[in-house]
Amino acid sequence: MYSAADGATPIYAPNGGRPPRPAGKAERLVTMDVLRGFALLGILVLNIDSFFGPESLHDIPMGVAKAAFVGWHAQLDYCILTVKWLFFEGKMRAMFAMLFGAGCVLLTERIERQGNPSRAADIFARRNMWLVLFGLIHGALIWSGDILSGYGLCALLFIYPLRNIRPKLLIGVGTFITLVFATWGLAVFTDAANVLRADTLARQAVAAKAEGRVPSVAQQAALDAEIKAKREEPGNIAEQVKQSRQPYLEGLSHRADGYFAMVLAQLRSLFIVEYLGLMMLGMGLFKSGFLSGRLSTRTYVMTALVSYGISVPVALVGVFNAAQTGFSPGGVMRWMYLPYYLQVLPGMIGNASLVLLIVCHGWLAPLTRSLANVGRTAFSNYILTSLICQTLFVWGPWKLYGTLEYYQQLYVVGGVWVVNLVASALWLRFFAYGPLEWVWRSLTYWKRQPLTLSAARTARLGALFP
């Protein structure tokens, strides 16, 4: 753990074997709080696609209730999609996973340095078992796009034994797993082989007819299936909108079925390896000093330049070429999904490097303080965001699901960001933890933690000077 005041001064102190305790405000690592707040706000830029209406392709506005890329806002829609894929798509989720891995090292190191090495495994396991439960509740009862259960499960299965591995090895293996095995898992999860095969056959059928030839049976079948899907799309969209606008209790079964179907599909495709690779990367980057801001300015600048130098061309080429196919399933698969991690991983590192550079130099201090507040209450803000969006789009009287243009979803994003920033700042004026953070810590340590700032200060002094 490092002091929030300077981001680099070790402040470990054995406590003579007294019961382990969560970190106090003065022990928090400000760089990681800012990164976590940045990721929390940024992930809504992508999650809003799932909240605001149906979508036939992940995070691409095709098969939506109100067509994108048409009318006066066509170019605006293209710009929004491009910016999303350049700086947000996958990168915020990846940053969360990276920080989660770093937090696992931070947690166990702090407990061991407090003089409780035998308790580290117990606290670690309990923390992640509760996280799995919280994720299941969130996914089944609130929003099916939950990531908490996957993080908790991955940590329980893999992370604890890896915490003492050398930083360079963690970084290398984590990067390899993400680029190779996570790409393979994504290809299985999206059924890439069959999608590409059907797309190739359909294109061959079109070419054969243009040349006056008779398509093969397989080619004609693929083309017929594509035409049928397009013909049935309006009805499918209308049915999805109707089903998703059901009152809370009536739609509960549908929402839970969708969530558990997604979880099973991810497990079958071993999609969880994405979390493993990114968590290992985060563990290594924390142990190396990267995430605590302890490296040189030149290191962060060069890392950002190299990372963006890889991710930006991959993302731009992918969006451009997929757009040339009309964002067909095959075109998107070939140009955007298969090279997905080639732009996600370096893009995430580039984002992190830029944020760390800003924090370490004290630039934009009011903004970074606000992001740190959001980061300290990230769990609460994550659930709050789901509740706000589900109320706006589905449960409340507004029923915005399927009613907004693609560009209009950004209005909601901006409004939720304001709520996150203001609510976090106001809450932390009086309380030591976010409300759900407090519940999670109390359950993890199996002891009610002090919630108000005054009670937390008293408990902290009692732990240091019993």
Q: Are 263 and 147 in contact (CB under 8 A)?
A: no
3-state SS class at 2: strand
Number of domains in the chain: 1
The answer to whether residue 464 is domain-embedded is no
| Residues 6 or more apart in contact with residue 221 via CB below 8 angstroms | 201
The CA distances from residue 137 to 144, 148, 149, 312, 432, in Å, are: 10, 10, 9, 37, 25
In order of 163, 192, 346, 359, 417, the CA distances from 280 in angstroms are 9, 26, 15, 24, 29
Tens-of-pLDDT digits for all 466 residues of the chain?
333 333 333 333 344 456 676 766 667 899 999 999 999 999 999 999 999 999 999 999 999 999 999 999 999 999 999 999 999 999 999 999 999 999 999 999 988 888 778 889 999 999 999 999 999 999 999 999 999 999 999 999 999 999 999 999 999 999 999 999 999 999 999 999 999 999 999 999 999 999 999 999 999 999 999 999 999 999 999 999 999 999 999 989 988 999 999 999 888 888 889 999 999 999 999 999 999 999 999 999 999 999 999 999 999 999 999 999 999 999 999 999 999 999 999 999 999 999 999 999 999 999 999 999 999 999 999 999 999 999 999 999 999 999 999 999 999 999 999 999 999 999 999 999 999 999 999 999 999 999 999 988 887 776 666 5
186 Cβ contact partners less than 8 Å away, ≥ 6 residues apart: 192, 269, 271, 274, 337, 340, 341
Report the amino acid identity of residue 313: P
User: d(Cα 50, Cα 59) in Å, to the nearest integer?
Assistant: 8
| pLDDT for position 406 | 98
- Domain assignment present for 5: no
CA angle at 303 for the pair 301 and 305, rounded to the nearest 5°: 70
Structural domain of 135: 53-361
At 110-120, the pLDDT tens digits run 888 887 788 89
Q: What is residue 466's three-state secondary structure?
A: coil
Q: For the beta carbon of residue 214, count every other beta carbon within 10 angstroms.
A: 10
Indicate the DSSP class of residue 407: G
Q: What residues pair up with 2 in beta bridges, in sequence order?
A: 10
Tell whether 251 is covered by a domain: yes
Residue 431 lies in a domain: no
Residue 339 and residue 80: Cα distance in Å, rounded? 20
Tell me the C-alpha to C-alpha distance, in Å, between residue 357 and each of 74, 242, 298, 391. Answer: 35, 47, 10, 37
Return d(Cα 360, Cα 356) in angstroms, integer: 6
3-state secondary structure of 3: coil
Whether residue 279 is contained in a domain is answered as: yes
Domain-embedded: residue 164: yes
How many helices and strands (H and E) does the chain possess? 19, 0
In a domain, 346, yes or no: yes
The number of beta carbons lying within 10 Å of the beta carbon of residue 11 is: 12
Query: Got the DSSP string for 373-386?
Result: HHHHTHHHHHHHHH
Within a domain: 2: no
Provide the angle, in degrees to the nearest 10, between the axes of the packed helices 248-268 and 217-244: 140
- DSSP annotation of 110 reads H
CB 248 within 8 A of CB 76: no
Helix, strand, or coil here: 455?
helix
